[in-house]
Structure 1
């Protein structure tokens, strides 16, 4: 019997899609097609590569009427928010726009008569993208487009929870006329993925997912010397100072904590508020959170759909219960149909009276729950922000840019925000520290991580 991957919809528990796992022969054939296609693609001018990427983007956006409800069925995001096409457009267009400049040879900084010396940025070869379900198009496009622009071939293995996203990318690239073999969507199980990574046939892997998943990727790739990009866990903090514009901070931090049911790589999971404005902030935050409407993501009135899987919601329930046992106070306690153990439907929750002895303040939640702590000063806030095994983003809410920079310099994180959060700017490198992973995506630096430096030291004939 053929092994399949089943996509269980969080909307109603039905099997929304089912696809057969690729055979070993099919996997090997895909890799060989990728290698053959990549050799010719590396000789294609960057401008021509860009035309294919923009044509793919146009084809993908043209499917939006079908894709938006597909996302809701697959992972629960309400249809009222549309797809991820704003970010997909921004990231694709920007990485195409900067490609020629980012990929041009770097001349030696000290010219010498009779010599030509420079470093070329050459394609890695075959890049594998293992994409997550929470932002299934945005996270995948971060590597797919720059890898292809850099001259590599791409093999995409998407999360089982968003199984149809890989097919949509394949349709878009086929519509764009991308040469066969350069982009291939494959359906693999974990054992096949590990075997492929350990085969030595993949030159780079980009994985977005859990810390445990990242460790499994590193273990599978051990000894192959491939390069890796790993975006793993997060526990992103915010610090609200007395001079913050309170209405703006409240509205944006509530959205940063609960958008996409809190299932955001750089979502706000803990908030530290200066004691001078703590009561005002908490009052506003609670009031704003109570405006959420939890329910069927296919209904326009719904502002928070189910979590992608029931086990993710149960983790949030466990974190909340532990925090309450240890003295925290829950402020929302919203009544939601089917909000019970074993259900993916979960109301947002705001906790005060929390501390770092509670898992909700140190361990990744990746769901609609946030703890708010009062702090006396910057020193206390910085110490607490750094008291985490993760470091993806941190946001600082103040009217003083220099003050924000001084605090940001001391926070262990990949990105420092001031007066915004839960955002990715393609002109800035996307990276993390500690258990959040390694590598870098987007910006010109992202191209450096998707190419290999090759030096040319040319001496004129004497």
Structure 2
């Protein structure tokens, strides 16, 4: 009997889907198909590749009524939020719009008698190892520009969102992509490691844990495959003395608690100028108390379960440790009927009297908990924001743009936000520093990371 991957739903702990693991022989054939298809696909005009990818997004969007409840069953996001097609469409459309210009050869005309240019060439086979928390948008970040740039793609989606890979596969098939250009596979960790070690993959995109990123780097060592890694995060926010407090509370609460806190760039720690500390923590706690925790298939639910019970257990452990060390919880978990230890259902929490000796302020939580600290000035806030092994985004709430830029220049982060958070703009490169990883997604730089430069130096007369 073949090995299978089981998708355990956070809704009720049942097996929602089960799929056989792709056999090793079939995986080898998939890689061969990908390699064979790549040259012909890359030879097609950019406009043709864009049209095919756009048709796939159309096909995916047409499935959304079925996809939304599937997502609720798979990873717990409430159906009331309507899925991910808005962000998926925005990102795909932008990358299609800029494709011709981004992939245009860079020409140098300062030397008469010569034709000189640098042409971006596709890397070959791109493997996308996608996460479950935003399973469509995170995959699309790389799949769309990789295909448009002339690469072929092999997708290995997270076990928690197996059906997302199938939906993407169906969409690309409906769009008429040639055989081998996009393929979805179901693999064990061991198979993935073996494939990466084989040298058959030219570029690897992985979104996941720091430990997972290290395992990817180790497996790919010596193959010279390029890597893009988006790993852990502990994204901070700072509410300055001149901030609009109401706007800050609303934005930060959404950034901390939406998707049950399971956002790569969600707000996990907040530093507030002492002038506004009481108002901000009271506002965050009030919003947290207003959530309706429950079955994500219920339209009344505003906060669903975390994707797995063990993820909720980790956040409970962090919170308990903080309380033992002197933190104070502002939200009573018992007020949420669905909150129950041992399950994936976890009430939102706001913690004060926290410090950087506590895990909840240092290690990624990836759940609906946020710690809030009082600061006296920008310098104190800056030091605390940078006191982290991670660096994906940082959010500054202020009415002074120049102050935000000055602080941003000194922040160790991939993206600086002012008066917003937890948003990915496809026109701006998505990247991280320190243990958050490396690489570039979206924008014109995303195309450059999925191509290699090839120089042409042509002398017209000898």
Equivalent-residue separation in structure 2 for 1:409 and 1:277 (angstroms): 24
Give TM-score scaled by structure 2 length.
0.99
**Secondary structure of 1:286's partner?**
helix
Separation (CA, whole Å) in 2 of partners of 1:212 and 1:404: 33
C-alpha contact 2:293 2:347 (8 A) present in aligned 1: yes
Unaligned runs of at least 5 residues, structure 2? none
Structure 2 counterparts to residues 13-412 of structure 1, below 5 A: 13-108=13-108, 111-335=110-334, 336-412=336-412
Q: Hey, what's the Cα distance between the residues in 1 that align with 2:195 and 2:267? A: 35
- SS of the aligned residue for 2:457 comes to strand
Give the root-mean-square deviation of aligned CA atoms. Answer: 0.7
Structure 1 residue 68 displacement after superposition? 0.1
Note if 1:6 corresponds to 2:26: no
Separation in 2, partners of 1:341, 1:93: 42
Once the two structures are TM-superposed, the CA of residue 338 in structure 1 deviates from its matched residue by 4.9
- Which deviations, in whole Å up to 9, do the C-alpha atoms of 1:75-109 show, x marking residues without a partner? 0000000110110000000001100100010113x
Give the whole-Å Cα distance in 1 for the aligned partners of 2:246 and 2:111: 59
Deviation at 1:461, TM superposition (A): 2.8
Aligned to 1:409, the other structure's residue is in SS state helix
Post-superposition offset of 1:236 = 0.2
1:17-43 CA deviation, whole Å, 9 max, x = no partner?
000001111001000101111110110
For 2:446 and 2:375, the matched residues in 1 are separated by: 36
**Cα-to-partner distance string for 1:221-247 (whole Å, 9 max, x where unaligned):** 000000000000000000001111111
How big is the shift at 1:339? 2.8
**What SS does the corresponding residue of 2:187 show, helix, strand or coil?**
coil
Kindly state the Cα deviation for residue 180 of structure 1 after the two structures are TM-superposed.
1.0
Question: Matched residues in 1 for 2:225 and 2:286: separation?
Answer: 50
Moved over 3 A (4+): none
CA shift, 1:383, in A, is 0.3
1:367-387 deviations in Å (ceiling 9; x for gaps): 000000000100100000000
1:341: Cα distance to partner? 3.0
Structure 2: how far apart are the matches of 1:282 and 1:65? 38
Whole-angstrom CA distance in 1 between matches of 2:20 and 2:280:
51
1:351 partner SS: strand
How far apart are residue 319 of structure 1 and its match?
0.5
Residue 286 of structure 1, CA deviation: 1.1
SS of the residue aligned with 1:265?
coil
